[in-house]
């Protein structure tokens, strides 16, 4: 069945470091791909999305490119801030959203 695999956390970085959180998927057809972010004690918020191969989603300095050949949707940011500390979820959308297990990011000043 359809599934999403994310790198395990926590990912610990210093402020202004480069961030990569890996996400790969298994799906039949051509799903849309999403990244959601969850700040402490809150629900999830949509961060970015891509609906077809080679699309690049971007928001708040974060980017992810839909790579069909490698079935990946890795999240990147060039310079992280303390305020980016949160849990990040990769998700794929067929007729319902399937989420990865989440990756906790901790950014220290």
Partner 1 sequence: SQTIHQWPATLVQPVGSPLSLECTVEGTSNPNLYWYRQAAGRGLQLLFYSVGIGQISSEVPQNLSASRPQDRQFILSSKKLLLSDSGFYLCAWRGSAYNSPLHFGNGTRLTVT
CB 25 within 8 A of CB 6: no
Among 20, 51, 81, 83, binds partner 1 (CB under 8 A): 51
Q: Is 12 in the site for partner 1 (CB under 8 A)?
A: no
Q: Is 93 in the site for partner 1 (CB under 8 A)?
A: yes
78 closest CA partner among 98, 92, 58, 96: 58
Among 62, 80, 102, 105, binds partner 1 (CB under 8 A): 102
Kindly state the smallest distance separating residue 100's Cβ from partner 1, in Å: 6
Per-residue DSSP letters for 22-58?
-EEEE-SS--EEEEEEE-TTS-EEEEEEE-STT-EEE
Q: Is 29 in the site for partner 1 (CB under 8 A)?
A: no
Q: Measured between alpha carbons, how far is 99 from 35 in angstroms, rounded to an integer?
A: 9
Q: Is 89 in the site for partner 1 (CB under 8 A)?
A: yes
Q: Is 58 in the site for partner 1 (CB under 8 A)?
A: no
Q: Identify which range of 10-18, 36-44, 60-68, 77-85 contacts partner 1 by CB under 8 A.
A: 36-44
Q: Is 44 in the site for partner 1 (CB under 8 A)?
A: yes
Q: Identify which range of 12-20, 30-38, 58-66, 70-78 contacts partner 1 by CB under 8 A.
A: 30-38
β partners of residue 89: 36
Neighbours of 14 (CB within 10 A): 10
């Amino acid at each position: 069945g359809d599934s999403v695999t994310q790198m395990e956390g926590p990912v610990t970085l210093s402020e202004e470091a480069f961030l990569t959180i890996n996400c790969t998927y298994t799906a039949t057809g051509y799903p849309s791909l999403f990244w959601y972010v969850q700040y402490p004690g809150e629900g999830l918020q949509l961060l970015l999305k891509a609906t077809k191969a080679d699309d690049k989603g971007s928001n708040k300095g974060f980017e992810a490119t839909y790579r069909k050949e490698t079935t990946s949707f890795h999240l990147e940011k060039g310079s992280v801030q303390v305020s980016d500390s949160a849990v990040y979820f990769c998700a794929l959308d067929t007729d319902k959203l399937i989420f990865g297990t989440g990756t906790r990011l901790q950014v220290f000043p």
